Amino acid sequence: MPILDWVQDAIFYQIFPDRFARSTRNPAGSLPFEPWDSPPTPHGFKGGDLYGVIEKLDYLKDLGITALYLNPIFESASNHRYHTFDYYNVDPLLGGNGALLHSAKQSVHIPAFKVKVVETTGAGDAFNGGFAVALGEGREPVEAARFGVATAALSVTKPGTANSMPRRNEIDAMLARGAL
């Protein structure tokens, strides 16, 4: 198997989100987490989140980091999240489902649409396709990400990857309903 070109010279940094950085932007931030500077415990949560990771990207770039490896981010009863009980949802303690869009101008969370999930195969491809189409149409990145989230949400409501890809009129109707 060939190695991807960008990987050969990448400098990876592994992040354990719960203990990396806590942001004030996470709605779950008001929960009673362990004090940040206290010694770690096997079952305690410190409250680090994905927003905290985004806020530290410039710091990581200054260190020469070019690629990130995140510990699991799915719903789990353990702080390291290797005891995942729901592979379909990003742990709300880390920021929840949807898309995180980060640029030099802003960091925005685009929430997921609530849909009945049938199969998730192809959801990432659906998001990327929807995002690219919307950017190609000249939409601003936040609106393009929202379009990508709607595309991915619709794609998980049907079985099979090819059959589940939504049509344009379905995406536009979901966005018009605003059913988050």
The whole-model pTM stands at 0.63
Using alpha carbons, select from 142, 110, 107, 111 the residue that is nearest to residue 24: 107
Assess contact for 156 and 120: CB atoms under 8 A: yes
- The pLDDT tens digits for 121-139 are 777 788 888 888 888 898 8
Active site residue 123: yes
Assess contact for 142 and 108: CB atoms under 8 A: yes
- More confident: 122 or 66: 66
Q: Is the pLDDT reported for residue 1 higher than 70?
A: no
pLDDT band at 164 (very low <50, low <70, confident <90, very high): confident
pLDDT band at 104 (very low <50, low <70, confident <90, very high): low
Catalytic residue among 95, 98, 122, 129: 122
Beta strands in the chain (DSSP E): 12-15, 67-70, 74-76, 84-90, 99-102, 107-110
pLDDT band at 180 (very low <50, low <70, confident <90, very high): low
Active site residue 67: no
User: How high is the pLDDT of residue 179?
Assistant: 58
Assess contact for 149 and 110: CB atoms under 8 A: yes
Tell me the percentage of the chain whose pLDDT exceeds 90: 18
Assess contact for 33 and 49: CB atoms under 8 A: no
Active site residue 130: no
- The pLDDT tens digits for 106-121 are 777 788 888 888 887 7
Q: What is the CA radius of gyration of the chain?
A: 18
Catalytic residue among 10, 29, 44, 125: 125
Catalytic residue among 58, 124, 172, 179: 124
Helix (H) or strand (E) holding 5: helix 5-8
Active site residue 9: no
